[in-house]
């Protein structure tokens, strides 16, 4: 795929402050994520996320992240926050994910095995897309760990968009994009000074590196080991 004809989408995740949400919008993020996973240090409540959502600039999406939350809590978030996309990191099945009337993306933990695209699509036929992450059982992402990008083949036969996450930051997202050619990239800890506290300079540099990758035309050797 030619990078000159493709714009990688950017999702910044794990917001806890309205000012950071506004700055992310102004710097060029396509989406911001609010985490409702019970075990996450970035967890916020629906009322807090609703207030932060009001800081979003036009044309920037709000994403709600869950991990084995009960249906009542998900419905409350959908009602109060009005997310445009749901993101599920747990053992939720397709029927559960589809039941809230909002498009959803399913996170796939990368545990050392190549992607079975057919199995994913059979298991989650209603997913709008997939997110490949390095999160461990019981966590909702944002671990800062990188997985082996070669597990995502450049010819991955998915009929839906996929997003790469897990340990991305301004110094490695360029290589990650060239290695995986994703629809989008997702970052939390890589743009923070502390969990949930975003760093404006890191956000700016991350966007710059994504755009540099999008404009890159010269082939480069894949890195032997993600940094």
Query: What does the H/E/C string look like for 21-82?
Result: HHHHHHHCCCEEEEECCCCCCCECCHHHHHHHHCCCCCCCEEEEEECCCCHHHHHHHHHHHC
> Quick check: is 133 catalytic?
yes
Distances from the Cα of 114 to the Cα of 9, 92, 201, angstroms:
23, 21, 34
Q: Active site residue: 13, 30, 97, 186, which one?
A: 13
Q: From 121, 172, 174, select the one nearest 147 (Cα to Cα).
A: 172
3-state secondary structure of 132: strand
> Quick check: is 13 catalytic?
yes
Token match 């990758």: residue? Answer: 213
Distance from chain centroid for Cα 130 = 9
Q: Active site residue: 20, 30, 97, 133, which one?
A: 133
Residues tagged active-site: 13, 133
């Amino acid at each position: 795929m030619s990078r000159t004809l493709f714009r990688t989408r950017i999702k910044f995740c794990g917001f806890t402050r309205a000012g950071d949400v506004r700055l992310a919008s102004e710097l060029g993020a396509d989406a911001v994520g609010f985490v409702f996973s019970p075990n996450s240090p970035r967890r916020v409540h629906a009322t807090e996320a609703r207030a932060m959502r009001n800081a979003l600039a036009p044309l920037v999406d709000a994403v709600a992240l869950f991990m084995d939350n009960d249906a009542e809590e998900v419905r409350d978030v959908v009602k109060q926050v009005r997310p445009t996309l749901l993101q599920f990191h747990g053992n939720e099945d397709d029927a559960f994910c589809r039941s809230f009337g909002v498009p959803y993306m399913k996170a796939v933990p990368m545990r050392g095995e190549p992607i079975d695209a057919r199995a994913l699509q059979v298991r989650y036929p209603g997913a709008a897309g997939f997110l490949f992450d390095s999160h461990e059982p019981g966590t909702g992402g944002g671990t800062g760990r990188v997985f082996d990008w070669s597990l995502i083949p450049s010819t991955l036969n998915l009929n839906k968009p996929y997003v790469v996450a897990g340990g991305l930051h301004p110094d490695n997202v360029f290589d990650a994009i060239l290695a995986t050619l994703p629809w989008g990239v997702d970052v939390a800890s890589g743009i923070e000074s502390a969990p949930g506290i975003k760093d404006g300079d890191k956000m700016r540099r991350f966007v710059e590196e994504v755009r540099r990758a999008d404009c890159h035309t010269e082939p480069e050797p894949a890195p032997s080991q993600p940094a």
